[in-house]
Amino acid sequence: MGLFEAQSKVTSSDRSEIESVKTSAEGTPNFSLKDSAVTASETGIRNFPTTMAKQNPPAASQLIMFYGGSVSVYDAVSPEKAQAIMLIAAATAVASRASANKTASVAAATKAPAVVGSDAAAKAAQSPAAPVLTRTLSFLSSSASAEGALVKQPQLASNSSSSLSKLQAELPIARRHSLQRFLEKRRDRVVSKAPYASSKPLDTAEMASEAQTQLI
C-alpha cells in the first residue's frame, strides 16, 4: 500500500530504493494519482551496472539515483517531483540519524497515538532539517550537469507510521474563542458575587459549582 514504499522499507534491503517507488499502475486498484506521478514508470526505469553510468550525459529532466551498488535513471521527471524525491530522501536521512540518537523517544512515539510528538521528530522537522535539505538540493542542482553525481546514501528509517495511522487521534473539540471568554467570565462572576438574583431550582447546583470553581 502506498506510493512511496521506500519509506517503509528497512535499511538492510538489498533491492534498489527505486524499484520500490511504484506508480499508480502498479499500486493497489483503489488509489489513483490525478496528477502525473513520478514517471518512474514502465518507460523510464533503466538499471545500469555502475560502469555504464558514464556513457550518457544526463538530460535536463533526467533523474539518476545511485543506491546499493546500482544506478537507476528516470527520464522526464518534472522539477517539482525531483525536488520532492530529494526532500523525502534527505528528510528520512535526517530522521533516521536523529532517531538513532534517541531510540527511547522513538519508542515512545510509536505508543503515542498519531502524534508527531517525539523530540526526534520535532527536531527533524525543524531547523536542523532545513539546512540539511537546502544543502542537499543546492549541491544537486549545481552538479546537475556533472556525470555520476553522487547522491547522499539515504538511510531508510524503519517507519512505524503504519501502526500510528491505525490509532485514532482524538482531539478534544475546540471551543470558539468568543464563547470561551464568555464562559470564563461567567465562572469568575459565579465565584465573586451572587448569580441569578431570582430564586431558581438551580440554586443548589450553583452552590455546588461555586464550590467547584473555588477548588480550582
Partner 1 sequence: MERRNCRMRLEVPDSALELVLGYLDDPRDREAVSLVCRRWYHIDTRSRKKVTIAICYSTNPDRLRRRFPNLESLKLKGKPRAAMFNLIPEEWGGYAGPWVRGLAESLSCLKSVHFRRMIIEDEDIAVLVRARGDKLKSIKIDKCSGFSTNGLMTIARSCKNITTLFLEESSIADDNNNDNRWIRVLALNNSVLEALNFYMTDLRVTPQDLELLARNCKSLASLKISECDISCLIHFFQEATSLEEFGGGSFNDQVGETNKYETVKFPPKLCCVGLIYMGTNEMHLLFPFAASLKKLDLQYTFLHTEDHCQLIQRCPNLEVLEVRDVIGDRGLEVVARTCKKLKRFRIERGDDEQGLEDEQGRVTQVGLSMLAQGCPELEYLAVYVSDITNAALEALGTFSKNLCDFRLVLLDREEKITDLPLDNGVRSLLRGCTKLRRFALYLRPGGLSDLGLAYIGEYSSNVRWILMGSVGDSDVGLLRFSRGCPHLQKLELRSCCFSEHALAIAAQQLPSLRYLWVQGYGASQNGASFLAMTRRYWNIEFIPPSKDTASNEAGDRRGEAQILAYYSLVGRRTDCPESVIPLLPA
106-125: contacts with partner 1 (CB under 8 A): 106, 109, 114-118, 120-122, 124-125
Shortest CB 71 distance to partner 1, Å: 23
Shortest CB 139 distance to partner 1, Å: 13
In the numeric block, the cell 525536488 is attached to 83
Is 137 a residue that touches partner 1 (CB under 8 A)?
A: yes
Is 7 a residue that touches partner 1 (CB under 8 A)?
A: yes
In the numeric block, the cell 473555588 is attached to 214
Is 2 a residue that touches partner 1 (CB under 8 A)?
A: yes
Is 161 a residue that touches partner 1 (CB under 8 A)?
A: yes
Of 174, 205, 200, residue with least CA distance to 213: 205
Of 82, 38, 40, 43, residue with least CA distance to 60: 82
Is 171 a residue that touches partner 1 (CB under 8 A)?
A: yes
- φ/ψ (deg, to 5) at 171: -95, 140
Q: Give whole-number Cα distances, 9 to 102, 185, 195, in Å.
A: 20, 54, 63
Give the residue, chosen from 18, 63, 71, 91, that forms a contact with partner 1 under the rule CB under 8 A.
Answer: 91
41 burial level (CB within 10 Å; 0-12, 13-18, 19+): middle
Closer Cβ to partner 1, 3 or 45, answer by number: 3
In the numeric block, the cell 535536463 is attached to 60
Of residues 40-79, those binding partner 1 (CB under 8 A) = none
Is 214 a residue that touches partner 1 (CB under 8 A)?
A: no
Of residues 188-207, those binding partner 1 (CB under 8 A) = 189-190, 193-198, 200, 202, 205-206
